[in-house]
Structure 1
Amino acid sequence: MARNTSGRGQRDLKVKVKTARGRKLSSTRWLERQLNDPYVKRAQAEGYRGRAAFKILELDDKYRFLVPGARVVDLGCAPGGWLQVAVKRVNALGEKQGKRVGTVLGVDLQEVEHVPGAEVHQLDFMEDDADEKVKGWLGGRADVVMSDMAAASSGHKQTDHLRIIALCETAAHFAFDVLEPGGTFVAKVLAGGAEGDLQKLLKQKFEKVANVKPPASRSDSSEKFVVATGFRG
């Protein structure tokens, strides 16, 4: 059961959650954090499918890779928040008069609810012919490959770190196969000490490589994002 507590004035109410019988303390803390998270509230108010939408918004505000007319591939696109952002920014629905119309393609292992303006396919991007399928659906190469994927948590921090670095490296190699020269690769990683090889690889393939923790990324999370721009081809 939740109750609101506040002082006088116009401050936001903070929701406190009591631990129900049978519910773990960690679940209670997660629920309380969700209920009090301003990005969760913004996502609900603005119609995004999750708070993660603001991470790609903030990254694009800084690096400007989701431009009208761009062809974008979102790996592991569920639940679709990044697709929603990309559709608006690349003008996939043609709502910005006089601007080029972009293409947004999402792939995921699971079915994803339709996102207006995006084309979504159920696909394992690690399949041998996945890159050719994606280029066929796009009608050419991509300008942006982005990924907010994370491997299933094992509960062991270093194991999870190694898993997501491996996943990110695989996504990077996929990007090498589908990106246009000059393209951009954006992916989530977890800090933990094994990023060196990934950084070295990306610096060989891109003009610039930045490591960023956007404001929407929780301060207590070890996640950060790599933004590699200027693909050398």
Structure 2
Amino acid sequence: MAKDSTGRMRVTVKSGGRLKLSSKLWLERQLNDPYVAQAKRDGYRSRAAYKLLEIDDKHRFLKPGGVVVDLGAAPGGWSQIAAKRVGAAEGKGKVVAIDLLEMPEIPGVEFAQLDFLSQDAPDRLLEMIGGKVDVVMSDMAANTTGHRKTDQLRIVGLVEDAAAFASEVLKQGGTFLAKVFQSGADATLMAQLKRDFATVKHVKPEASRKDSSERYVLAIGYRGDGRAPRLEDLLDT
């Protein structure tokens, strides 16, 4: 072990050549990440839980009794926070989550192992939801190819699909939150979101790694029928 620039002890992985450099660096980053350690202490599935906590602490869109859709949910950090804040485990709200990967059960969360881009995904989700929702959130990330332009197009396409789904299922006054990475949502999508929502902004929570390119687009106050919701409709009752 050695100390880093802040004086904290830093773990160094000695792989003896058994790990690729990229794997070694990823493992060292995990072992030395304070949010990873805190997530284990707090019982969260991932460090991503703190990103959602931070965003919601500031903007307060996860309200008791709310209905939330979590796209790209595994391993479940966001679903845990959403279920707690809407009261899903006590039957006061509802959280519906999907992912390509399996996800162990979370109290108050209805999960399906499902590809969001598959043809049957929208109908399956609508069946699980059973009506309109208050929040659609997506921490999905497209598989990368290493080709920057191709990867960017995949990221943009995934966010656009999530936004299109949100426009179909959100209640008036609802919220859409999605990972978009450093470039942010492209101009066309931002223009659409600004037409559909009262407030649209990019956010990068402190819990995101400093060297990470990720950030999120947050759209609050879904207009629904084309009219901006009244301010009192967006406030806690």
TM-score (norm 2): 0.87
> Within the alignment, does 1:226 sit opposite 2:191 as a pair?
no
Deviations along 1:69-101, one digit per CA (max 9) or x if unpaired, are 10000011111111111111111122xxxxx81
> Within the alignment, does 1:119 sit opposite 2:119 as a pair?
no
The answer for the alignment partner of 1:200 in structure 2 is 191
The answer for the alignment partner of 2:178 in structure 1 is 187
In the aligned structure 1, how far is the partner of 2:78 from the partner of 2:198? 24
In the aligned structure 1, how far is the partner of 2:206 from the partner of 2:71? 22
The answer for the alignment partner of 1:53 in structure 2 is 49
Shift of 1:124: 2.8
- Against the structure 1 CA distance between its residues 88 and 155, is the aligned structure 2 distance closer, same or farther, given a 3 Å change threshold? same
- Decide which of 87, 90, 101 is 2:83's aligned counterpart: 87
Deviations along 1:186-233, one digit per CA (max 9) or x if unpaired, are 000022377212211111111110100100111111110011011111
- Decide which of 2, 5, 10 is 1:5's aligned counterpart: 2
> Within the alignment, does 1:75 sit opposite 2:71 as a pair?
yes
Letter of the 1:5 partner, please give it. Answer: A
Unpaired runs of 5+ in structure 1? 95-99
- Against the structure 1 CA distance between its residues 20 and 201, is the aligned structure 2 distance closer, same or farther, given a 3 Å change threshold? farther
- Considering only aligned residues, what root-mean-square deviation do their CA atoms show, in Å? 1.9
Equivalent pair of 2:184/2:217 in contact (CA under 8 Å)? no
In the aligned structure 2, how far is the partner of 1:12 from the partner of 1:21? 26
- Secondary structure of the residue that 1:104 maps to in structure 2? strand
Letter of the 2:196 partner, please give it. Answer: K
Shift of 1:109: 2.4
Shift of 1:13: 2.1
Letter of the 1:204 partner, please give it. Answer: R
- Secondary structure of the residue that 1:120 maps to in structure 2? strand
- Against the structure 1 CA distance between its residues 47 and 141, is the aligned structure 2 distance closer, same or farther, given a 3 Å change threshold? same
Deviations along 1:1-30, one digit per CA (max 9) or x if unpaired, are xxx2349xxx54211122421322221111
In the aligned structure 2, how far is the partner of 1:89 from the partner of 1:187? 19
- Secondary structure of the residue that 2:62 maps to in structure 1? coil
In the aligned structure 1, how far is the partner of 2:116 from the partner of 2:146? 25
Letter of the 2:93 partner, please give it. Answer: G
Identity of aligned residues (%): 55
> Within the alignment, does 1:134 sit opposite 2:125 as a pair?
yes
The answer for the alignment partner of 1:108 in structure 2 is 99
- Against the structure 1 CA distance between its residues 59 and 224, is the aligned structure 2 distance closer, same or farther, given a 3 Å change threshold? same
Equivalent pair of 2:200/2:220 in contact (CA under 8 Å)? yes
TM-score (norm 1): 0.88
The answer for the alignment partner of 2:157 in structure 1 is 166
Letter of the 2:117 partner, please give it. Answer: M
- Against the structure 1 CA distance between its residues 17 and 135, is the aligned structure 2 distance closer, same or farther, given a 3 Å change threshold? same
Aligned pair count reads: 222
- Structure 2 counterparts to residues 17-36 of structure 1, below 5 A: 17-36=13-32
In the aligned structure 2, how far is the partner of 1:194 from the partner of 1:86? 24
- Against the structure 1 CA distance between its residues 31 and 200, is the aligned structure 2 distance closer, same or farther, given a 3 Å change threshold? same
- Decide which of 49, 56, 62 is 2:58's aligned counterpart: 62
